[in-house]
Structure 1
Amino acid sequence: MPDAESITRLITIDRDSPVPLYFQIAQQLQQLIESGTLAPGTQLENEISLAKRFELSRPTMRQAMQHLVDKGLLARKRGVGTQVVNDRVRRQIELTSLFEDLERDGRRPRTELLSMETLPAAGRVATALRLEPGAPTLALRRLRYADDEPIAVMENHLPADLLSPSEQDLAAHGLYQLLGRAGVTLRSAEQTIGARRATAAECRLLTEPRGGTLLTMERTVLGDAGRPVEFGSHLYRASRYSFDMTLTAR
């Protein structure tokens, strides 16, 4: 684990660059964290000491550190100082549930059921599930945690005849696991990923600062014979979550 002197040698500042000084520091610290050079749990010097080391003003160093705090790479803890956390959830673009992905990565998933009700299909839900308007759907809204930290709000709609889960089922298992146990086979999905600002209510649920950025994901899952079996609309904390994908050339 590098000490303060080593970190100073690993970071270079170009004072003639048009790139702001705070961003130069933040970007290089981020690279050290994501490469594992600065491991989770590493404690950094305070802003005053770091500012002196790099011959920067304290506001500039504070801005660099806050940038990394906002990205979920550093955490300020009272009585401890500033530590590397790098607890971002990285998820491959695959037809899997978030619950399963968190379990696989040893992230201790937990689910809080916000609502579960039978609602008539309407609008985009009816279109995605190819149901007649008014047909019954099972509507779920859940708050998903990783290691006791909220990371996603998930809304799911299913044809009402597919599944009748209990609150205990939804707390202990991922939705796709429950569908599999009910004999539903997942064949393919269409998915759209975007981003937007969080509402005040969403910030409270996800413990995001006001105006925080959320990743959005909408997915329609098809089962046997191409029948839609689930329409999901999910919100993820951009500071704690990213989608990874592998691209291949033609």
Structure 2
Amino acid sequence: MNYNLDHKNPVPLHLQAENLLRAIIKDPQYANGKFLPNEIQLAKQFAISRSTLRQALNKLVYEGLLVRKKGVGTRIAEPAISSKSKNWLSFTQEMTARGVHIKNFELHVTWVTPEDAIADFFDIGTAKKILKLERLRGKLEGPFVYFISYFHPRVGLTGEEDFKRPLYDILEKDYHVTATLSKEEISAKAADKFLAAKLEVEPGSPILCRKRFVYDQGERPIEYNLGYYRADSFVYTVESRRE
């Protein structure tokens, strides 16, 4: 690939560098999240200053096309996993339908006393222990989502279940509880040290937060779910139809 910029061209050098970087991103040799040469090498190849190069890099990092990690380098962002709100499925079922193989990096089951918000949702007392399921999940290359689920005692989960199976498959086939309705709240936040360590990002990095309230056929609450997603690896889309 030709890395030369035209210094006589009226187009600013940082814009030329940006366009060249966009072409590099599409080059098969940099596919699958491979790293770019370091800034010193790139600036030398482009025959521009590092500050001019950094201006172009920053634009593509902002757009989500590049991922930069201090002390590690800059790599091509992998295509983001997408989740739709229409035709709601469990996470495993949805990713399987999209041909994405999901790996469980961590799985923890505990019994806890619920916080006020969770107890209010389930309409139970805060002294009543409920099952808490934590799962760190992602692709083979690394995690991109950390889930925390709480379940109403009525569901009957014991904590001994094989939670590598799809969650709603367990509820329906083993406990005759069908998750029918999901209400969700989407927000963004900066990753604290705990979530940053789980998702392998820098503290303060943007993450997507999804709070999900799940109900059965009788619209009784069965699950209170929190999902924290890497912003550079996940896109949540909403489809609406005007009637």
Q: TM class by shorter-chain length?
A: 0.7 to 0.9
For normalisation by structure 1, the TM-score amounts to 0.74
**Cα distance in 2 between the residues matched to 1:188 and 1:22:** 48
Contact 2:209 2:226 in 1 (8 A): yes
- Aligned ranges 1:53-72 → 2 under 5 Å: 56-65=48-57, 68=60
> Equivalent residue for 1:147?
140
Which moves more between the two structures, 105-114 or 203-212?
105-114
Q: Which of the residues 163, 166, 191 maps onto 2:160?
A: 166
Deviation per residue, 1:177-221 (Å, 9 max, x gap): 222222211111110000111111211111101311111010101
Are residues 1:207 and 2:218 paired? no
Q: Which of the residues 180, 183, 189 maps onto 1:187?
A: 180
Question: Which amino acid counterpart does residue 177 of structure 1 have in structure 2?
Answer: D
Q: Quickly say closer, same or farther: Cα 1:27–1:71, change in 2 above 3 A.
A: farther
Per the TM alignment, residue 29 of structure 1 is displaced from its structure 2 partner at its CA by: 2.5
Q: Quickly say closer, same or farther: Cα 1:83–1:151, change in 2 above 3 A.
A: closer
Are residues 1:93 and 2:73 paired? no
**Cα distance in 2 between the residues matched to 1:237 and 1:83:** 16
Q: Quickly say closer, same or farther: Cα 1:200–1:22, change in 2 above 3 A.
A: farther
Q: Which of the residues 216, 240, 243 maps onto 1:247?
A: 240
Per the TM alignment, residue 235 of structure 1 is displaced from its structure 2 partner at its CA by: 0.8
**Cα distance in 1 between the residues matched to 2:36 and 2:106:** 38
Question: Which amino acid counterpart does residue 56 of structure 2 have in structure 1?
Answer: A
Per the TM alignment, residue 134 of structure 1 is displaced from its structure 2 partner at its CA by: 2.7
Question: Which amino acid counterpart does residue 145 of structure 2 have in structure 1?
Answer: A
Contact 1:122 1:134 in 2 (8 A): no
Contact 1:4 1:45 in 2 (8 A): no
Per the TM alignment, residue 223 of structure 1 is displaced from its structure 2 partner at its CA by: 0.5
Per the TM alignment, residue 233 of structure 1 is displaced from its structure 2 partner at its CA by: 1.1
Contact 1:188 1:221 in 2 (8 A): yes
Deviation per residue, 1:153-191 (Å, 9 max, x gap): 111000134223436x12x22322222222211111110
SS in 1 for 2:202: coil
Question: Which amino acid counterpart does residue 203 of structure 1 have in structure 2?
Answer: A
Contact 1:109 1:146 in 2 (8 A): yes
Contact 1:26 1:67 in 2 (8 A): no
Which moves more between the two structures, 102-111 or 57-66?
57-66
The number of aligned residues is 232
Per the TM alignment, residue 126 of structure 1 is displaced from its structure 2 partner at its CA by: 1.2
Deviation per residue, 1:18-56 (Å, 9 max, x gap): xxx4799289829x96xxx55535886765675477664
Per the TM alignment, residue 243 of structure 1 is displaced from its structure 2 partner at its CA by: 0.4
Unaligned stretches of 5+ residues in structure 1: none
Contact 1:73 1:85 in 2 (8 A): yes
CA RMSD, Structure 1 to Structure 2 (Å): 3.8
**Cα distance in 2 between the residues matched to 1:91 and 1:153:** 15
Question: Which amino acid counterpart does residue 178 of structure 1 have in structure 2?
Answer: I
Are residues 1:221 and 2:221 paired? no
SS in 2 for 1:99: helix
**Cα distance in 2 between the residues matched to 1:82 and 1:239:** 13
